[in-house]
Amino acid sequence: MSTSLSYAAWAPLAAAHERRVEQLTAAHRQRSQGGKAHPVEDFLFTYYSYRPRLLRRWHPGIGVGLEDAEERADWPLYRLADGVTEVDLPLFLEKRGSTVRFIRSLLTATADRPAMLGCFGLHEWAMVYRSGDVRHEDWPLRLGSAGTDEVVERHTVRCSHYDAFRFFTDEARPRNTLQPTREQQVALEQPGCLHAGMDLYKWAYKLSPAVPSALVLDCFELARDVRVLDMAASPYDLSELGYEPVRIETPDGKAEYVRRQKEFAVRGQELRTRLIDSCDEILSHP
């Protein structure tokens, strides 16, 4: 049974969400008009496929109908019934049921594992190891090419995340303790991984509009914060952008990385639980 919200009740919620999104995406939207790409902030809109205009749309999630919202009936996966607009859950399950089940299986498996720490963000270093090309060509390597290669060579690379590993250079892949594949994703993903934490945003927006927009945006904010550490610990010199490097090649830098990694793992597990609960709610409907 759906709960119906009057326009007076839901309109302020939608407006508050839109303001939050406008604030979080303002710099990216301005740069998209022709400014220099930002290697930290723009990642969430280049690597991930969800556009700011979609993030800006407020959805209450399943079980909540909106009165006086007829214009939303034309939105994908919505329906209008008896003057109330709501997510068309049968249609959502028809089109995305398999996606929901995969997301649940991945998140549940990840949540049940201990957080593995100590990778020190070496995935970004492995992406430029012994290569003349760098992913962020506008930004210099902090230690130069030879220094970057030396850091990789004196560390053990322990990347469990396929979508990070697939960007490793050919020279770096054999140095990884694992050889992740897409088929192994459910078996290998673990909650200490920065990329697994960022990907919670992807899983959240793939569940939209069946999950509340507040959850999607909470995952977006975690991804944004994780990306800061991801790049601060990378081999790139981003001091021009105001990012103090986390020098993972030093004992102090390693300790700082692990401390912040633990904090993100806790935040990620909380959001992971909320997403799993949402999947269960979606799948519980006939």
Q: Indicate the DSSP class of residue 1.
A: -
Crossing angle of helices 89-111 and 194-206, in 10° steps, is: 170
Question: With 60 as the cut, is the pLDDT of residue 37 above it?
Answer: yes
Question: Are the C-beta atoms of 136 and 236 separated by less than 8 Å?
Answer: yes
What pLDDT, in 10s, does the model give residues 170-228? 999 999 999 999 999 999 999 999 999 999 999 999 999 999 999 999 999 999 999 99
What pLDDT, in 10s, does the model give residues 193-209? 999 999 999 999 999 99
Domain total of the chain: 1
Nearest to 116, CA basis, from 184, 188, 177, 191 = 191
Which residue type does 193 have?
Answer: C
The boundaries of the domain holding residue 183 are 3-283
What CA–CA distances, in Å, run from 26 to 19, 33, 109, 170, 211? 10, 11, 36, 37, 24
What pLDDT, in 10s, does the model give residues 234-257? 999 999 999 999 999 999 999 999
